[in-house]
Amino acid sequence: MEKIEGMISDIVFKNEDNGYVIAHLSNENNDVVIVGCMPTLTVGESIEVEGKWVNHKTYGTQFEVSSFMPVTPSSIEGIYVYLSSGMIKGIGEKMAKRIIDKFGVDTLDIIQNSPHRLSEVEGIGSKKIEQIAKSYEDNRELRNIIMQLSPYGITPNLCLKIYKKYKNKAVDVISKNPYKLAEDVRGIGFKVADKIAENLGIDKLSKDRIMQGILYSLNQSLASGHTYLPKDILVQESSKLLGVEKEYILDCILGLAYDQKIHIEKGLGHEDHIYLIPYYLSENGVCKQIIKLAQSDFKYLNIDVEKEIEKVEEETGIKLADNQALAVKEAIKSGLVVITGGPGTGKTTTINTIIKVFENNEQEVLLAAPTGRAAKRMSETSNKEAKTIHRLLEMGYATDSEELVFLKDEEDPIKADVVIVDEVSMVDIVLMYSLLKAIKPGTRVILVGDSDQLPSVGAGNVLKDIIDSKVINVVRLNEIFRQAQESMIVVNAHRINQGLPLHLNVKGKDFFFIKKNTNEEILKEIVGLVSTRLPKFYNLDKLKDIQVLAPMRKGDLGVANLNIELQKYLNKEEKYKVEETLQKRIFRVGDKVMQIKNNYTKKWETEDKSESGEGIYNGDIGYIYHIDKENKIIYVLFDQTKIVSYEYSELDELDHSFCTTIHKSQGSEFPAIVIPVTWAPPMLLNRNLLYTAVTRAKKLVVLVGDVKYLEYMIRNNKTNDRHSNLSKKLNRLKEEGVLVKN
């Protein structure tokens, strides 16, 4: 093995996924091409590499690196290149020059050992000193961790997450039990941990490995909406994943049950159902809370309901249909009721009437919805504040850990006479349990939603299960009002649900199909519609008013590629627009982006700093407001008021949203929707998905593609069955006489 020292003068190629780099290393003697896994390498960095010379048949002589380590640059030029590289937060090119002009070759020693002396440089105050010193130290520790972990195929971004979790104990934790990463670090699943374990020589039949593989299989099933897996299926999938015989799986299932990581429940057919503990507790807990709320004594209202409804009708000038009036009556006489219906059937009018009747009788009413956008829409249509369920339940920290929990629960319930929850089809089993157990018996609960929409992203099919169980009162709003019948969006949504052909391209209406045969033609048409034609002819804002929705993420017409193509036309590259390429994506000022995970502690503040708070939620849409390259921060403006900062390492929380998946659009409404219609796996070409997409539009729907796939979607009413026992358990309680309709 040979060693070479020098400075990185150029990086020719860098693979962000595996850290493979081709670079030029320069020193006093020569310029060398080096190749190898060096994920942290930056231009201007001084390093020492160890490896061997190889001859590439195309590129000639290269130095193949087996290991490398940073070397503190000793020349003024080297120090300048290092400091101005962007590696140290708070130092850009101009600041680097000022610091070096002051301290010369002692600059790095000053930053590391006497950072307070940086105050001698113009423009550096105490906050900036703290930022620079912390970044320098973090950078040094992080680089050591990355160099130790990169041989295991862990990318720099994942290394940063590991470092944030374990700090300088990271390598020790991983060497003892790499499977702990799968439990503790988002983005590292079982497969990555298993690869590390293999490199460490951990036995394939290790119980730690098999148990983590079983838990991984159960966690994967959550993504398909299952609250449990039948034991036979779990054994089969785990055995295939791990490459071990089934008896080892069966033995470790018992071990996991003993350790209370899973629960084994006998199904109605005497087969074993295997739950992760939180989902077992949540499913049983929802049943228990439904019993409590449906059968509890609530405050009797000594009122003439018919007269109360007439009073509201006079105030609003809107006459309720029979089913709407029935929904109001059920809400008043029941502890727990479900109101369901499609577009144009008057759910909003019904909810608003219920609110007015209760408030006219001095009842405190609280409104909630599962997402920020759904809550905002509920607020707008009711002229009353609606909160996200998470805000209603108040996030906080557990006293014995840093784990986020809801502060509202049985001990400290929500204070209200009536709680109305909209878009319940989006609520998964765990969130529904958290909500219901925080509502004290005696409070009326009204669950509102469209059971024909897609079920929740999370596990369970809560709204449909409750309705199918027939154990509590359900009012279906099925009359399409005359005004709604004027909209082809509403008419076609109901025709989709009934499996009927659509009314397309009716002159002067709001629902159109543009026939295109190839993916290339469809893409070109969508770009033209969104960037030029729809804004021009319908007076729409191309970013705020038009939303492209796609069934899938991958492929020419998937979300990922559509976002790349739409960005070129909806937020073009301009000299005055700052941009940064990160994680293989271009982030540019003005980009439309979406938060793709709940972050309850993410801080925000208004531009004038008059208001601040915490919490940005899955599905929130914003626009890139500013990119600070020096400090490696992107600022995003949400709701036209909230400014949120993201460090570069946090950008896995953001996705471009010129186009988004149909599932992600749930709970939202947009003036105009554009949908590509092309081949996709059958599970993504179904009636349920098309119905959900179409009902997101308020003014205009444009479908672009091949009519045979549109017809297939309307015919295909198959949905993926979810393993859930909620409906069965509710029915069993009813049969046992525990639960009686109120």
| CATH code, domain with 17 | 2.40.50.140
- Is beta strand 546-550 parallel, antiparallel or unpaired with respect to 659-661? parallel
619 phi-psi bin (left φ>0, alpha ψ -120 to 50, beta other): left
Tell me what pLDDT residue 18 has.
63
CATH number at residue 430: 3.40.50.300
Does some domain include residue 87? yes
| Same-domain check for residues 377 and 300 | yes
Q: State how far the Cα of 3 lies from the Cα of 120, in Å rounded to an integer.
A: 39
What the block records as the tokens of 611 is 């208001």
Give the other-Cβ count within 10 Å of 735's Cβ. 10
Domain containing 648: what range?
A: 589-656
Which of 222, 247, 275 delimits the end of a domain? 275
What the block records as the tokens of 62 is 């290269």
Does some domain include residue 433? yes
Nearest to 528, CA basis, from 537, 655, 592, 621: 537
Does some domain include residue 188? yes
Binding residue per annotation — 592? no
| Same-domain check for residues 269 and 294 | no
CATH number at residue 613: 2.30.30
Q: State how far the Cα of 678 lies from the Cα of 685, in Å rounded to an integer.
A: 9
Tell me what pLDDT residue 740 has.
52
Which of 128, 149, 170 delimits the end of a domain? 149
Binding residue per annotation — 344? yes
| Same-domain check for residues 297 and 244 | no
Q: What is the 3-state secondary structure (H, E, C) of 398-462?
A: CCCCCCEEECCCCCCCECCCEEEECCHHHCCHHHHHHHHHCECCCCEEEEEECCCCCCCCCCCCH
Does some domain include residue 391? yes
∠683-689-692 over CA atoms, to 5°?
165
Tell me what pLDDT residue 153 has.
62
Does some domain include residue 204? yes
The number of folded domains in the chain is 4
Does some domain include residue 450? yes
What the block records as the tokens of 335 is 């502890």
| Same-domain check for residues 477 and 455 | yes
| Same-domain check for residues 327 and 405 | yes
Binding residue per annotation — 189? no
pTM of the complete model beyond 0.95:
no
Tell me what pLDDT residue 440 has.
93
Give the other-Cβ count within 10 Å of 406's Cβ. 19
| Same-domain check for residues 140 and 174 | no
| Same-domain check for residues 177 and 223 | yes
| Same-domain check for residues 136 and 16 | yes
What the block records as the tokens of 41 is 């390498």
| Same-domain check for residues 237 and 203 | yes
Tell me what pLDDT residue 205 has.
93
Q: State how far the Cα of 48 lies from the Cα of 699, in Å rounded to an integer.
A: 62
Binding residue per annotation — 104? no
Q: State how far the Cα of 275 lies from the Cα of 277, in Å rounded to an integer.
A: 6
Does some domain include residue 646? yes
| Same-domain check for residues 428 and 316 | yes
What the block records as the tokens of 117 is 């002396």
What the block records as the tokens of 593 is 């982006």
CATH number at residue 243: 1.10.10.2220
The CA distances from residue 246 to 225, 266, 389, in Å, are: 25, 20, 42
Does some domain include residue 676? no
Tell me what pLDDT residue 222 has.
92
Which of 629, 656, 683 delimits the end of a domain? 656
Q: State how far the Cα of 568 lies from the Cα of 561, in Å rounded to an integer.
A: 11
Tell me what pLDDT residue 629 has.
87
693, 552 in Cβ contact below 8 A? no
| Same-domain check for residues 252 and 311 | no
| Same-domain check for residues 267 and 307 | no
Binding residue per annotation — 213? no
Instruction: Kindly give the parts of the chain with pLDDT less than 70.
Output: 16-18, 40, 85-86, 143-144, 146-157, 268-269, 397-403, 482-484, 737-742
